[in-house]
Homo-oligomer: A and B are copies of this chain.
Amino acid sequence: MAEDRRTVDSDRPFTEALRVREGFGLSDLDPRSTPAFTGRKADGKAALLEHDDELSSLQEQLYAASVGGDSRRRVLLIVQGMDTSGKGGIMRHVVGRVDPQGVQITAFKKPTEEELRHPFLWRIRKRLPEPGKIGVFDRSHYEDVLVVRVHDLVPQQEWSSRYATINDFEQELVEDGITVIKVMLHISAAEQKERLGKRLDRPDKHWKFNPGDIDERENWSDYQEAYQAALERCNIDAAPWFVVPADRKWYARLAVQQLLLEHLRALDLRWPVATFDVEEQKARLART
C-alpha cells in the first residue's frame, strides 16, 4: 500500500479510525485532522467522486434485495453536529449522489405541539427507512439528550433516563435488520464563527442565518459536554458512534461516504436470482 498514500492497510479504515472507543474524549480530537486519509483537499475531492459509482451500485443492490428477494435489510445514517457543522453538505454531496428513489432523508426540526404530546421516539419511529432503503436523519432522537439537556427543556430525571431508552431502541432496530451508522460532525468554535460570518457576508445566504445561532454559541461548552455524554452512554456494540473531524468540509464528506461504503460492503449484497424462468419469459415476450 506504500504507493497509495490515500488508503490505510485495512478493509474498513474509516470505520476503524473514527469509531468511538473506551476513553474517547471529544476535546482530544482535532477538528482539522483527517484520520485514515493522508491526502490533501484535491485528493479528497477526487476520492469522493471516484467512489460515486460503487456507492450507487451498492444502494441499488440493497434496494433490489428488498424487491426481488424478501430482504428486510435497511441502512440508517444518523447525522448530528453543531450548527454549520456541514450536515446539509453531507445530504447534498454524499447522499445526493445516490439514486433519490433509494434514499429517505428526514430533517428533524424543533418538535411540533403534536410531537411533544408523544414519547420522544414517536416521531423517529415514523421515519425509519423501509426495507431496501437508505434512511438519513439530519438531527435525530439525539436532540432529546442534546438541546433538551443544555436548555433543561424537560426535568433532568427525564432526559437522563433517555440514554438507556435510546440504547434499547437502537438495539431493536439492529435486530430488525437495520444497519445503524451514527455520525457526529465535529467542528471547532472558531470554524463555526467563520462559517456564520460567511452567511452574514452573502445576501444569498442570509436566509440560512438566525440570530439565535449566535446566542447558542454561549452554550458551546455545555453542548460539547452533552455530546460527550451521548457518545459515551449510547455507544453500544450494535450501533457505535463515529466522530468525524469536520473543520475541513471535503474530509467530512469523504469520511461519511467511506463509512457508508464500508458498511454497505460488509452486507455482502448480491443481485437477487430471478423467480421466473428467464428463457420462458423471453419466448413469451417475443410472441407479443
8 A Cβ contacts from A205-249 to B = 206-209, 211, 214, 217-218
8 A Cβ contacts from A98-148 to B = 99-101, 103, 105, 107, 138
Whether B207 lies near A272 (C-beta < 8 A) is: yes
Q: Which of the listed residues A69, A92, A208 has the most CB atoms from chain B within 10 Å of its own CB? A: A92
Whether A206 lies near B273 (C-beta < 8 A) is: yes
Give the residues in chain B near A276, CB-CB below 8 Å: 209, 211
Whether A193 lies near B271 (C-beta < 8 A) is: no
Whether B101 lies near A217 (C-beta < 8 A) is: no
8 A Cβ contacts from A239-288 to B = 271-274, 276, 278, 281-282, 284-285, 288
Closest to A218 in B: B288
Q: Does A177 contact B (CB under 8 A)?
A: no
Q: How far is the CA of A169 from the CA of B6 in the complex (A)?
A: 55
Q: How far is the CA of A272 from the CA of B209 in the complex (A)?
A: 11
Whether A211 lies near B284 (C-beta < 8 A) is: yes
Chain B nearest CB: distance from A197 CB in Å?
A: 6
Whether B100 lies near A100 (C-beta < 8 A) is: yes
Closest to A68 in B: B207
Please encode chain A, from 170 to 200, with 1 for each CB lying within 8 Å of some chain B CB and 0 for all others. 0000000000000000000000010011001
Partner of A285, one of B101, B105, B193, B284: B193
Give the residues in chain B near A138, CB-CB below 8 Å: 101
Please encode chain A, from 150 to 185, with 1 for each CB lying within 8 Å of some chain B CB and 0 for all others. 000000000000000000000000000000000000
Q: How far is the CA of A204 from the CA of B218 in the complex (A)?
A: 54
Q: Does A78 contact B (CB under 8 A)?
A: no
Whether A197 lies near B282 (C-beta < 8 A) is: yes
Please encode chain A, from 41 to 72, with 1 for each CB lying within 8 Å of some chain B CB and 0 for all others. 00000000000000000000000100111000
Q: Does A23 contact B (CB under 8 A)?
A: no
Give the residues in chain B near A274, CB-CB below 8 Å: 203, 206-207, 209
Whether A288 lies near B206 (C-beta < 8 A) is: no
Q: List 17 A–B pairs whose Cβ atoms lie within 8 Å, in order of A's numbering.
A: A64-B207, A64-B208, A68-B206, A91-B100, A92-B100, A95-B100, A96-B96, A96-B100, A100-B100, A197-B285, A200-B282, A200-B285, A206-B271, A206-B272, A207-B271, A211-B281, A214-B288
